[in-house]
């Protein structure tokens, strides 16, 4: 079974530029998450999708971050414009339908804003 | 609201020694608890999970954790550390139908030869 795929693995941009990350979850997983992991900290949930609907985006900085899940499968996370404090690893995860099921994580995209 | 506290951001043990990584949680409803491991430049991999069945949970790579409701703890242990156990370990909690994981700050385990 293929895992969660993310691209790119690494990205360096200048502040005020825009950037987009892509995630392809495990086939058949209804739930998709984007987490932000700042160096030295635990992952923090940015947004959760159930199929193509948003379940929780309360911690997403909506003035600069946006996310969508196309047809309930792939997802993109965009930052525009980026700030220095956005430097982090962005992790995508997916889980099957059900309560308290295991989340499977991708390898992440390491973003450096200079 | 739910939260997780991991005591000790860095833990160092000798190879062959006991590993103990501490995790305390706060949850307003019965929690589901998880331990994940993260190797350098990798995503998170599930070690084990507690889902209200047995309070002693066995995971991969010889790790286990015990759920203690009275202490609101879910500490991770391994009897004998191996060099390959060196990694970052995260405790996480979820509760309710949302399945949203709340992570602790992580503990970096270092294993000395």
B51 interfaces chain A, CB cutoff of 8 Å: yes
Least CB-CB distance to A55: which of B90, B98, B104?
A: B98
Name A72's Cβ contacts closer than 8 Å, sequence gap at least 6.
Answer: A30, A49, A51, A52
**Is pLDDT of B47 > 80?**
yes
- All residues of chain A having their beta carbon less than 8 Å from the beta carbon of residue B10 are none
Cα→Cα distances B113→B15, B16, B17, B84, Å:
5, 9, 10, 11
How many angstroms away from the CA of A107 is the closest CA of chain B? 4
CA gap A27, A99 in Å, rounded: 18
Cα→Cα distances A75→A98, A107, B57, Å:
20, 15, 34
How many angstroms away from the CA of B66 is the closest CA of chain A? 18
Looking at per-residue confidence, does A93 or B96 come out higher? A93
**B93: nearest CA in chain A?**
A100
DSSP string, A44-92: EEEEEEETTEEEE-TTS-TTTEEEEEGGGS-EEEEESS--GGG-EEEEE
Least CB-CB distance to B42: which of A43, A104, A107?
A: A107
- CB-facing half-sphere around the CA of B10: CA atoms within 13 A: 4
Burial class (CB in 10 A: 0-12, 13-18, 19+), A85: exposed
* Contact assignment for B90 to A43 by CB distance below 8 Å: yes
- All residues of chain A having their beta carbon less than 8 Å from the beta carbon of residue B94 are 100
Q: How many CB atoms lie within 10 A of CB B32?
A: 22
pLDDT tens for each residue of chain A, 114 residues long = 689 999 999 999 999 999 999 999 999 999 999 999 999 899 999 999 998 899 989 999 999 999 999 888 999 999 999 999 999 999 999 998 777 778 999 999 999 999
User: What per-residue confidence (pLDDT) applies to A70?
Assistant: 82
Torsions phi, psi of B2, nearest 5?
-135, 150
User: What per-residue confidence (pLDDT) applies to B27?
Assistant: 80
User: What per-residue confidence (pLDDT) applies to B100?
Assistant: 82
The model's confidence at residue B96, banded by pLDDT at 50, 70 and 90, is low
């Amino acid at each position: 079974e293929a895992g969660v795929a993310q691209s790119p693995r690494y990205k360096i941009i200048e502040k005020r530029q825009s950037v987009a990350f892509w995630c392809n979850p495990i086939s058949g997983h209804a739930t998709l998450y984007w987490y932000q992991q700042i160096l030295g900290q635990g992952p923090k949930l940015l947004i959760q999708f159930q199929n193509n609907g948003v379940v929780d985006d309360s911690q997403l900085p909506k003035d600069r971050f946006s996310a969508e899940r196309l047809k309930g499968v792939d997802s993109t996370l965009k930052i525009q414009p980026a700030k220095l404090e956005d430097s982090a690893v962005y992790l995508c995860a997916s889980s099957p339908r059900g309560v308290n099921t295991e989340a499977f994580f991708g390898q992440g995209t390491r973003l450096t804003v200079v | 609201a739910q939260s997780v506290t991991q005591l000790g951001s860095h833990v160092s043990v000798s190879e062959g020694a006991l590993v103990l990584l501490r995790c305390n949680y706060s949850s307003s409803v019965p929690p589901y608890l998880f331990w994940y491991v993260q190797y350098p430049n990798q995503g998170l991999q599930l070690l084990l999970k507690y889902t209200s069945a047995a309070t002693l949970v066995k995971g991969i790579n010889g790790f286990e954790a015990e759920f203690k409701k009275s202490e609101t703890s879910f500490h991770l242990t391994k009897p004998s550390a191996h060099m390959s156990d060196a990694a970052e370990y995260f405790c996480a909690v979820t509760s309710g139908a949302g399945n949203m994981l709340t992570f602790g700050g992580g503990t970096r385990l270092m294993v000395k030869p």
